[in-house]
A and B are shown apart, each in its own frame.
Chain A
Amino acid sequence: MAATTLLTSDQFLALPEEFDQNSNVVHQELINGEVVTMPHAAKRYDIIRGCILQTLIAYLLQHKEHGLMALPDAEFVVGNSNTFIPDASVISISRLTTDEKYMHGAPELAIEVVSPSESAAFLRMKTEAYLANGSRSVWIVFPEVRSVMIYTPDSVCEFKGDQSITDPLLPAFSSPVAAFFELT
């Protein structure tokens, strides 16, 4: 996009952390080699994310046989030019490690809640990079229109209105779309 120097994931991860005036870490991602500062989450967006995580955690606790865990804000090195922090992710417990700051590869499921300033082009590149690097599905959640687009390597589905969300990665999982947005 911009005519800036592109970084590799290794170069990006070696950068010192940046802090804002309140000493909070500034969240950045590397998208196609470009460093992108992530917008500070607004309250509404945090509530939606909380609802999604609660729904997933309730399901995963009931279905421990899948060996999956839901995480907020984990950092994933998704190939050489991409380092992402999905709003929520589901990964195999067998991949968890405590001795590194970030995860290698894409999560099994990446969830992005679209913030008002989020670029459509970057969101697209992120979605494709997740799928090209092993994600089995990507959920893109649109708070304004209250819909969830679910991308898998070979399909796209949209869930909205009174529909219920299902995902082949999560057998027997079903949640009304409205449950994600009911508190907002």
Chain B
Amino acid sequence: MVAMAATTLLTSDQFLAMPEEFDQHGNRIKDELIGGEVVRMAQPSYFHDRIKNRINRLLILYLHANSQLPLDAVVEIGAQVSDYDTFVPDVAIVRTGEQPLSSRIYRGAPEIAIEVVSPTDTAKHLKRKVDAYLEGGAKSVWVVYPEARSVEVYRANQRHNLKENEPITDPLLPGFSSPVAAFFEFA
């Protein structure tokens, strides 16, 4: 259970300056900073990874066919979204050539942030992340719910709830259309 502890809030700079932690197997422990609170990310799961990779693949296929668009699809970049928010979106659409490739951390929100909900994600933190992405300049946030097989799309003044038989489209990706169900199909 996540306690509402009266802990000191960190800034993104403080958070990013912290040493990395490793578990007993030497795997790096991944954290996010959500509203100044350090939140451990869900344990990786095959199910979650497959959905994430599937979405990334659909986007990469689209971007290959539309190479005039200055956009890239990337998995799990660290994005410093605000002074108190540093997230690792499962998939992100970013503008190419805007930030140095050598940088460890992407500054600002991606153009589109895609979060695949894990069983341990709390609704409170997820909502804060969506708000921070939009306030940080993201054009869209796609929240993917594997159990419910649905996607909620957030834009500045719009909210859409898409069921699995509905197509997902995005103004930033002209011509892109994929049934939500395709996110959960594994070829």
Q: A1-B147, A128-B148 are in contact. Are A121 and B121 (CB under 8 A)?
A: yes
User: Does A64 sit within 8 A of B, measured CB to CB?
Assistant: no
Q: A142 to B148, Cβ gap below 8 A?
A: no
Q: Interface 1/0s, chain B 142-178, versus A by CB < 8 A?
A: 0001111010100000011100000000000000000
How far does the Cβ of A168 sit from chain B's closest Cβ, in whole Å?
16
User: Does B9 sit within 8 A of A, measured CB to CB?
Assistant: no
Q: B122 to A118, Cβ gap below 8 A?
A: yes
**Please, which residues of chain A bring their CB within 8 A of the CB of B131?**
145, 147
Q: What is the total of A-B residue contacts with beta carbons within 8 Å?
A: 74
Q: B4 to A42, Cβ gap below 8 A?
A: yes
Q: B4 to A119, Cβ gap below 8 A?
A: no
**Cα(A32)–Cα(B126), bound, Å:** 21
**Cα(A1)–Cα(B145), bound, Å:** 12
Q: A118 to B148, Cβ gap below 8 A?
A: no
User: B2, B119, B148: which has the most chain A beta carbons within 10 Å?
Assistant: B148
Pairs of residues from A and B, 3 with the lowest C-beta to C-beta distance, nearest first: A156-B159, A120-B123, A117-B1
A residues lining the B interface (CB < 8 Å): 1, 32, 39, 42, 114-121, 123-125, 128, 140, 142, 144-145, 147, 149, 151, 155-158
B residues lining the A interface (CB < 8 Å): 1-4, 35, 117-128, 131, 145-148, 150, 152, 159-161
Pull 6 A–B residue pairs with CB atoms less than 8 Å apart, ordered by A.
A114-B127, A116-B124, A118-B123, A120-B121, A144-B124, A157-B159
